[in-house]
Amino acid sequence: MEEPTFCGNLRDRNNLRFSEYIELFQSIDDTDMLFPKPCRACGRNFYSISDYICYTSPKGHSIEDASGVMQKPFTMMYRHCACGNTLVLTFTEAIFPRLGNFWSMVEQEAEETGKSTQEVVLEFMKQWELTVRCGL
């Protein structure tokens, strides 16, 4: 299996706000706080955010803001492993310092476009998935 690569230079894509945060999320590869991410059902390991996005499939709208429950910036990303198991990555400010800004961008995009935050999150995730080349 080839290592997926991130298609940098997203500035010419449709939504510059999305591009900025996709690039920031991609920088999470620089931390060992999330990766490797094992699937506890089949044992497969995901070694980077690109690997994780490329070789899993979204569950629902994929990203959920759990800040209200946790009383601090806290986001959960849900994806399905090829074996069907649901995987969860958790993002905190320690991992992603601009997490609060990300959700502010989502809310602003929703307000400006008249879409729900879930619709904006779905669009963001689709754009992110398009920027990750799988090398398949």
Q: Model-level pTM?
A: 0.80
**pLDDT grade, residue 39 (50/70/90)?**
very high
Q: Six-digit token pair at 106? A: 């989502």
Q: Are 114 and 83 in contact (CB under 8 A)?
A: no
Distance CA 50, CA 131 (A): 9
pLDDT in tens, 13-34: 457 788 888 888 888 766 678 8
pLDDT in tens, 46-85: 998 888 988 999 887 788 998 888 888 889 999 999 999 9
pLDDT in tens, 77-124: 999 999 999 999 999 988 888 888 899 999 999 999 999 999 999 999
Instruction: Provide the terminal-to-terminal Cα distance of the chain, rounded to the nearest Å.
Output: 8
Q: Six-digit token pair at 81? A: 């492993």
Alpha-carbon dihedral 75, 103, 27, 19, rounded to 10 degrees: 140
Q: Which residues pair with 57 in a beta bridge?
A: 80
Residue 107's pLDDT is what?
92
Residue 14's pLDDT is what?
54
Q: Are 21 and 102 in contact (CB under 8 A)?
A: yes
